[in-house]
Amino acid sequence: MANGSEMLPQAKTLAARAVEADPKLSRAHLALGVAQLLHARNLADAERNFCVASDLDPSDALCHRWYAKLSFSKGRHEEAVSKARRALRGSGNRRLLTNKLQKLYKSLPANGQQQILC
C-alpha cells in the first residue's frame, strides 16, 4: 500500500482533472489546493484554489479550515482566526473546531494575541 506522500502527486492530478471537468465544483478546487499545499508547497496556487472554493461555497467549513491553516503559515494570523471562525460557524463538529481555534490562538506570539483581542 502506498503512503500519503506517494499518493499526493496522483491526488493533485485527479483534482486538477476534476477542476477542468467542472470548474464550479468547490470541493474540486479545495482538493487541488490541498494537494498543491501538501505536495508542491505551492502556497500561491493553493491559496488561489482555496479562494475559488470559498467563493463557490461560502458555507464549506472544511475549505475555511484549510484556508485558515494556509493563512497562519503565511503569518496572517488575524485572517487565520477569521477563517477558523467561519469554519466553526459552518461546522457540525463545533467542539473539535473550537479546540483547534484555541490551539491556533495559543500558538500566536503575545502581540498577535493582543491584536486579535482588540
Residue 33 and residue 46 in contact, taking contact as beta carbons nearer than 8 Å: yes
28 and 48, same structural domain? yes
Same domain assignment for residues 78 and 52:
no
If asked whether residues 86 and 118 sit together in one domain, one would say yes
| Same domain, residue pair 53 and 65 | no
Element (H, E) at 13: helix 4-21
Q: Same domain, yes or no, for 118 and 65?
A: yes
Q: Do 17 and 65 belong to one domain? A: no
Q: What is the mean pLDDT of the chain?
A: 81
- Is there a contact between 77 and 112 (Cβ–Cβ < 8 Å)? yes
Residues 42 and 89 in one domain: no
Domain end (from 57, 73, 101): 57
The residues, ordered by sequence, that sit 6+ positions from 1 with a Cβ below 8 Å of its Cβ are none
- Per-position b or e across 42-62, b if 16+ CB within 10 A of its CB: beeebbebbebbbebbeebbb
Res 95 pLDDT > 90: no
Count of all residues that appear for the chain in the document: 118
The reported pLDDT for the residue numbered 28 is: 95
Say how many domains are in the chain.
Answer: 2
| Domain residue limits at 77 | 60-118
CA distance 35 to 85: 23
Task: Convert the pLDDT of each residue in 8-48 to its tens digit.
Answer: 888 899 999 999 999 999 999 999 999 999 888 889 999 99
